[in-house]
Structure 1
Amino acid sequence: MIKLIQKQNILIMYYREGKSQREIARLLGVDRKTVRRYINKYEEKRKELEQSSGLVDPRELIQEIVENPKYSVGNRPKRKVTEDIQSLIKKHLDENEQKRRNGQHKQVKKIIDIYESLVEDNIDISYSSVKRIVRSLEQKAKEAFIKESYIPGDVCEFDWGEVKLTIGGKLQILQMAAFTSAYGNYRYAYLFTKQKTECFQEAHARFFQEVGGVYQTLVYDNMKVAVKRFVGTEKEPTEGLLQLSIYYGFRYRFCNVRRGNEKGHVERSVDVIRRKAFAFRDTFESLDEANRYLLKICNKLNAKPQDTRDGQSALACLEQERANLLTLPPMFDSARVVNARVDKYATIVVDQNHYSVPDHLVGELVMVKIYSSRICCFYKDAKIAEHARLTGCHEWRLELSHYLETLKKKPGALAGSMALQQADQKIKQIFETYYTKKEKEFIELMQYIKDGTSLSDVEKSITELCKIHPSHVTTDKIKALCAKRRENISEIAIISQVAQDITDQAIQHLKMYDKLFNTQNLAPKEAIA
């Protein structure tokens, strides 16, 4: 096959060096007919160019003169790929399309499956031929994309990303909420245990606090926490998203289905943040520590100069955007509110996990505010319980003080209770060391602590009693020592106040004498308050 450089050599040797066609063919190792064809073709096009006189576009003639040599392969019939075979392949492709419309995307035939089916039917054809036919039949016009220009403070994109980290010695799958501004590429991310509405709302509240304002428009894909359902081609937002939009005043926009490029900033940011942060470190003592580390990485990325923005960092771009951001209201109370009935174990169930409330509320309906990391329970507008939120399923979080009324009636149930097992380690140690087989006294001590005495005061009293003998550790003696300590503290406070009053009065008298006798300059400065 002759190349463009060989065509150039043929024309230079013939017109510039005066060599014959036979000699050129011998020197270049090509057929003499080929040499003659290219010389004739060149002369023909040059002549047309000179005589065109505006009747023919000269650019087309110039292109034909300088373009690569072309070869016609003719219309040779395909020896194996007949129309019948193409029809069979098209039938398989039509079945695939029908399955896609039915939502059976994972059950469509691949090219290798179609090839094997044809071979089973004793059709003599190669895999490469089947692949070529499939591609020609499925050939579609490539999608074009529109480059957008963004206004400062207008658009910000949100997405979730999955991260696997070891937290407190346990490997966990966490959800990373990520925001990226379209104008300046400012990035912010925060880790949650789940993709719940309360986590979605808290992520927005934290992000807006971080940037000091609210972007005009937030862009989402078709995530469940943002899209409640599809109504024809329209998408109905969730109540959680509507609450955020109403409170902060931003507009929202959804991407088309399977069109991540429509929020390409955050799609890439999820990958960048996850890699920059957790490719180097993936073990933390707590989720709070992981989030502090993640914020540090985001700040580092935002301070980095960006080639696509004339060397400006994302942080510098954010400063330009702040003037166009919406005013930031007080931080949104990002809680999911539910009403729950207290069961016979004095617990309410939230997301398949049990949390204790005071035992006198069995059978009552309580309001529960569910945050990303804690839950708060209310009864008749009074807060009755607060727990760290459980992340698993069918787990229990019980507080011993919630069961004191029941334990007073059933003290024998204390030792084997889950509430005692989940109690503070110091409480458990006090019970196991001094109150074995004295459950009623221990329950009385727990009531004393619940009524307002601090655990540290109880521990001090136990230490003093142990100096005499461990057998002296009783609830009555602990109460007596705690009361005596409070009385002593009150007496000391009274004495200290009286002494301070006397000192203040004496200083005032000295100032009066100095003023009367004009002796201010004689006294040392530090002696006069």
Structure 2
Amino acid sequence: MELLSVIRRWHCRDHRPIREIERRTGLSRNTIRKYLRAQSIEPRFQVPERPSRLDPFADRLRGWLVLKAARPHKNRRTARRLHEDLVVLGYGGSYGRVAAFIRQWKPSSSTGARTGRSIAGHRVKLQVAHTRLSFSRAFILRACPLQTQEMLFDALTEAFRVPVGVPRRGIFDNMKTAVDRIGSGKARQVNLRFMALASHYLFEATFCNPAAGWEKGQIEKTVQDARRQIWQDLPAFPDLGAPCCSICSAASTSAPVSSSQPI
């Protein structure tokens, strides 16, 4: 745009010859003449139509985006996940092209959806406990109807049944099912039943500072990964005790391990 403005000023106002404009700009005479004959104040370029590898999959991706917009924000598949699903269908293009398509796509209307999972044909809202073992990187998800103390104990019991054993130390949130009162610093009044559980499995309980999620970053990442890998597909289960995947099925059938084994 700036170069075209300079060419027009030199030729129409200063009456400089095309040869001088050619020498100063480095453009060919034919290009300069084309700009001047067009009598346009901005350059126009004809972009050739180039087919995209995403074109055969555009309708499929558009349909996925419509379903994604109808879901709650936590249950929506990410652009990276959508690209991986397209690759399975035979898409050979880049992730950037898929991301650009998603940014340009606008839903016609936004609709909300209820959260929950289908259990025995009924829509049920579940609370999921996440346990992550630091050394082995194993993680266990345990779903329960309510966030009660029984849910906490059940989740820890199932986590300690995996083959790697029981940890020496556990880092926990300051949930009311384990902590009765938060004192200054690291002082905590721990629930007696939770203390009995820690004494039974012989692990030391450490509690994070309030609003300090970075102190347990591994479990925070596990929560994010579980939403994208498991819960976004809205799986249905025959009952509450059914495993959500083959990994959970293998963990649920493994034999208990001595509580003295460290990880």
Larger proportion of helix? 1
Relative contact order, higher structure (CA 8 A, sep 6+): 2
Larger Rg: 1
